[in-house]
Amino acid sequence: MGAALCALALQAQASTPSGMVPPASETSGTVQQFAQDVVRSADAEGRTFGVIDKPSATLWIFDAQGRPVASSPVLVGQAVGDVAPPDIGMRPLSKVKLHEKVTNAGRFVTEAGSNHKGEDIVWLDYNAALSMHRVRNVPGESRTKRLQTPTVADNRISFGCVNIPASFYDRYIDPLFSRSRGWSTYCRKPNPSPACSRLPMAACLRRLWHSKSPPHAERLAQANF
């Protein structure tokens, strides 16, 4: 599994929101395999979970049995990479360099929150100001249009946060991510070592537990982009 695959295991409600279920044949083989590994290893603890495939800039949601429920294009960090600088969450946006605009990989605890404008978001990593939120209208960036194009070449634009179409966010992310604490699972390294590749997926994942720092203006501002 590559670091670009991010599995988000969520504390789901008893029922999943109704919606169009993507045929299994349309699910990336690698993503489907990853989802099955999540189920086999019980890494999602029997909950609904999601997988973010950064190469295709797509968010998949799977039920507790690993069956695809829904999917959506998303916007991710402008820079290619899996690790942002450790102090990224404390900097003003103007001090974040292009190569630092990374969507981190890892395994995180998800938590409902809000940005500096009071808008609801879902934290992936509070200390790194990494969140999922509805797509933002940033002047000159045409973010909504980027989500509608058939190519993924223009889906790298954010400071690192995962931007999601508002309709998809309201229908799936809000009820599954925002109303209870859950898990996020990311396979961290792009090329696992041979030893790691022979282990169950859960044994190769890095579990990141962050003690939540006090609110910081720069962190809350970054969470909006």
Question: Comparing C-alpha atoms, which of 73, 124, 72 is closest to residue 102?
Answer: 124
Tell me what the mean pLDDT of segment 220-225 comes to.
57
pLDDT at position 101 over 50? yes
pLDDT at position 198 over 60? no
- Asked if 35 and 209 touch (Cβ cutoff 8 Å), the reply is no
| Residue 210 confidence class, pLDDT cut points 50, 70, 90 | very low
pLDDT at position 20 over 60? no
Instruction: Tell me the pTM.
Output: 0.77
Adjacent-strand bridge partners of 111? 123
Note the pLDDT of residue 74.
Answer: 93
| Cα torsion angle, 223, 54, 2, 191, sign | negative
Domains and CATH numbers, the chain: 5-222 (2.40.440.10)
Among the residue ranges 23-37, 75-89, 140-154, the one predicted with the least confidence is 23-37
Q: Is 191 exposed, middle or buried (0-12, 13-18, 19+ CB in 10 A)?
A: exposed
